[in-house]
């Protein structure tokens, strides 16, 4: 009986380990990676861009997922602006009028913090980050794809 119980317990532990391992592998984003998230709108699909300090980028938009590399100067400026703006949760935003059909919001997650919508910047620090995000999306050709022409983003697993 003890042998049967021990084998069952080991089996459950192995399954639990595999489940935890696969979930953490899916959910692991290094602390030094910045995540740019655009909400999309009523008519468009948003995007997520994962930017590493080396300039290596993974991103997903309504056309699917892809990888890229940002120019060194853009990467350095973006991470410098992130550091200056910390804590991101304290970045002010101002009210800005957005279209109901096409209005989106853009946030940045970095080093455990998250900004409010930087596309309505409330100070120069937020404005620099908004400018950086615009430059990053242009460099990667990441856009808000119309819902009729793309597919929804996969869910985040973290």
Statement to judge: residues 37 and 98 lie in one domain: yes
Tell me the CA distances in angstroms from 56 to 21, 70, 71, one per residue in order: 25, 7, 9
Statement to judge: residues 8 and 61 lie in one domain: no
How are strands ordered across the β-sheet holding 113-114?
A: 64-69, 56-61, 47-51, 34-38, 106-110, 113-114
Statement to judge: residues 53 and 9 lie in one domain: no
Instruction: Give this prediction's pTM.
Output: 0.79
Closest Cα to residue 149, out of 65, 62, 64, 66?
62
Predicted local distance difference test score (pLDDT) of residue 29: 79
How many domains does the structure of the chain reveal?
Answer: 2
Task: Give percent of the chain with pLDDT exceeding 70.
Answer: 81
Mean pLDDT of 69-74: 98
pLDDT for residue 14 is more than 50: no
Statement to judge: residues 118 and 69 lie in one domain: yes
Statement to judge: residues 49 and 92 lie in one domain: yes
Range of the domain at 13: 1-28
Name, in order, each residue with C-beta under 8 angstroms of 67's C-beta and a sequence gap of 6 or more. 56, 57, 58, 59
Name, in order, each residue with C-beta under 8 angstroms of 73's C-beta and a sequence gap of 6 or more. none
Predicted local distance difference test score (pLDDT) of residue 103: 84
Choice among 79-83, 89-93, 148-152, 153-157 with the minimum mean pLDDT: 153-157
* DSSP bridge pairs for 35: 50, 109
Predicted local distance difference test score (pLDDT) of residue 78: 98
Statement to judge: residues 10 and 54 lie in one domain: no
For the segment 135-157, what is each residue's pLDDT rounded down to a tens digit?
A: 999 999 999 998 999 898 888 76
Residue 120: inside a domain? yes
Highest mean pLDDT among 2-11, 49-58, 101-110: 49-58
Residue 46: inside a domain? yes
Statement to judge: residues 105 and 135 lie in one domain: yes
């Amino acid at each position: 009986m003890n042998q049967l119980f021990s084998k069952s317990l080991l089996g459950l532990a192995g399954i639990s380990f595999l489940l935890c391992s696969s979930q953490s592998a899916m959910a692991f984003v290094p602390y030094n990676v910045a995540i740019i998230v655009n909400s999309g709108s009523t008519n468009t699909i948003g995007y997520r861009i994962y930017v590493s300090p080396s300039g290596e980028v993974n991103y997903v938009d309504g056309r699917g997922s892809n990888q890229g590399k940002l120019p060194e100067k853009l990467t350095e400026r973006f991470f410098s602006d992130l550091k200056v703006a910390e804590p991101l949760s304290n970045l002010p935003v101002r009210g800005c009028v957005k279209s109901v059909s096409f209005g989106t919001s853009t946030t940045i997650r970095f080093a455990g913090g998250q900004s409010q919508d930087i596309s309505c910047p409330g100070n120069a620090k937020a404005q620099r980050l908004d400018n950086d995000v615009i430059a990053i999306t242009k460099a990667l050709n990441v856009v808000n794809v119309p819902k009729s022409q793309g597919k929804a983003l996969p869910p985040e697993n973290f």
